[in-house]
Amino acid sequence: MIEGNDIICFSNDWDADPLSKKHIILRLGRKNRILWINGIGNRNPTVSARDIRRVFKKLWQFWLGCRRVEKNIFVFTPLVIPFHGSRMARWFNRHFYRWSIRRAVRKLRFRNPITWAYAPSCGEVAGSLNERMIVYHCVDDFSKFTGADKAGIAGLESKLLEKSDLVVVSADALYESKRRSHRNTFLVPHGVDYDHFKKACLPETAVAEELKALPHPVIGFFGLVADWVDLSVIRYLATERPDWSVVLVGEIQTDVSSLHGLPNVHLLGRRNYQNLPGYSKGFDVAILPFVVNDLTLAASPLKMREYLAAGLPVVATPLPEVTKLSHLLRLASTPQEFLSQIEAYLTEGRRGPGPELSRQMQSQSWDAKVEELSRLVDSLARQRIGVIPGRHSTDGVAGDHDLHGSGANSSRR
């Protein structure tokens, strides 16, 4: 692992459910100092109660200033105007946003940091923080989220790509897209918190209390219940098999009225990440029903790997990144196919967590992924010896051909 670096990470909110970004930064934080910049969002806010609460939360977090959340990790919430398509908002963000982050960097005495950007919204600021390297780690097609300011986000991402020394992506579709704009683009698929989710297979792990009294089989889902989840699959399973229990664990961010009145559908809401192995242990079969669109075709669902690490039989929509693990799960494109594939598992007697399946995911741990990312950063750093520290170059990277020759085959797979 790289060590001894100061890293500025532009990402989502630190206190949200742990996504790929947080898993990686927690591990990098063992040997590096991190300033995590809470996200400003990809979409324009609305007058909804949820967005109003988020605005007040952001104001409160800005007032708190830079705070330590782990031994080497500090979190800062900048004050910004989240209208990326507005010229006035971009002017304000370019100046006040940059000033406030520079202030936090000076307070922490960061020197010649690495900017590790997960959010294209930092495109105006990246490159102005005395960085010695900029890494754009792209894990989604951000312009495709519902409500996103597509033109504004695309413009900011274009600026970030121009400034970046290294681009890392998590899916083939993102690789094909970004490599047209940046020669140093590498595919590093998502990992999994293996040691955490394999607990579902251990005899000492108890089934979550909320699931103990439910009739079996329990068909389970955990994750954000957003508009990319195909609720028609959930409704079909529940109505066709009223003796089954269908459980959704996760924050609800979309209209779920189509599921109301179904007594065997259990919307449990967000639950603590630490307790997910107990919920996994209570599932007989896990499902990943996604709507197929431009956003999901470029996605690499974390939950798929977490289900498998928990040893669960999985039925999933055949997205490109899902089909790479089709030898470990079953694919279904329609509600009827989901029902058929779940029943096939149940008929075979395959239900609940199994340690043999779980062990198949051991090599895909986040620790292994962080080592792979570190090798890419180290390779670039070695080839940039002689560049003045803290001066960022946007006119190409010396040794670019060698970097691709040494790393592309191992990271592009």
* Cα 19 versus chain centre, distance: 4
For 57-68, the pLDDT digits (tens) are 656 666 677 899
Beta strands in 27-182 (DSSP E): 33-37, 67-70, 73-76, 114-117, 133-138, 166-169
Average pLDDT over residues 339-362: 96
Among 85-94, 198-207, 250-259, which stretch is predicted with the lowest mean pLDDT?
85-94
**Are the beta carbons of 141 and 157 closer than 8 angstroms?**
no
The backbone region for 390, taken as left when phi is positive above 0, alpha when psi lies in -120 to 50, beta otherwise, is: left
% of residues, the chain, pLDDT over 70: 84
For the record, the structure tokens of 397 come out as 């990277």
**280 falls in which pLDDT band (50, 70, 90)?**
very high
The tens digit of pLDDT for each residue in 190-238 reads 999 999 999 999 999 999 999 999 999 999 999 999 999 999 999 999 9
Residue 385 has a pLDDT of 62
Tell which residue, 41, 189, 17, 25, has the closest CA to residue 114. Answer: 25
Tell me how far apart the alpha carbons of residues 125 and 104 are, in angstroms, rounded to a whole number. 14
pLDDT band of 402, cuts 50, 70, 90: very low
Q: In this structure, are residues 404 and 187 in contact, taking their beta carbons and an 8 Å threshold?
A: no
Distance CA 35, CA 389 (A): 19
Measured CA to CA, the distance from residue 230 to residue 337 in angstroms comes to 13
Q: Two tokens at 337?
A: 């196919």
Q: Quote the pLDDT of residue 85.
A: 56
Buried/exposed 147-158: b ≥16 CB within 10 Å, e otherwise: ebbbebbbbbbe
Q: How far is the C-alpha of 82 from the C-alpha of 39, rounded, in Å?
A: 10
Q: What is the pLDDT of residues 359-391, one digit of tens each?
A: 999 999 999 999 999 999 999 988 876 443 333
Which residues are CB-neighbours of 114 under 8 A, at least 6 positions away? 5, 6, 7, 8, 131, 132, 133, 134, 135, 377
CB 198 within 8 A of CB 309: yes
pLDDT of residue 17: 85
- The residue type of 213 is A
CA atoms lying within 13 Å on the CB side of residue 129: 34
Of 402 and 294, the one with more pLDDT: 294
Q: What is the pTM of this model?
A: 0.86
Which strands form 166-169's sheet, in the order they lie side by side?
67-70, 73-76, 33-37, 6-10, 114-117, 133-138, 166-169, 185-187
Residues 63-78, mean pLDDT to the nearest whole number:
89
Phi, psi of 200 (to 5 degrees): -60, -25
Per residue in 174-183, pLDDT (tens digit) is 999 999 999 9
Measure the N-to-C terminal CA separation of the chain; round to a whole number of Å.
21
Contact yes or no for 165/325 (Cβ under 8 A): no
Give the CA dihedral 265, 268, 274, 275, nearest 10 degrees: -60
Q: Which domains does the chain have, with CATH numbers?
A: 6-191+366-411 (3.40.50.2000), 194-362 (3.40.50.2000)
- pLDDT recorded at residue 79: 76
- Per-residue pLDDT tens over the stretch 304-317: 999 999 999 999 99
H-helix or E-strand containing 219?
Answer: strand 218-222
CA 97 – CA 99 distance, rounded (Å): 6
Q: Does the pLDDT of residue 47 top 60, yes or no?
A: no
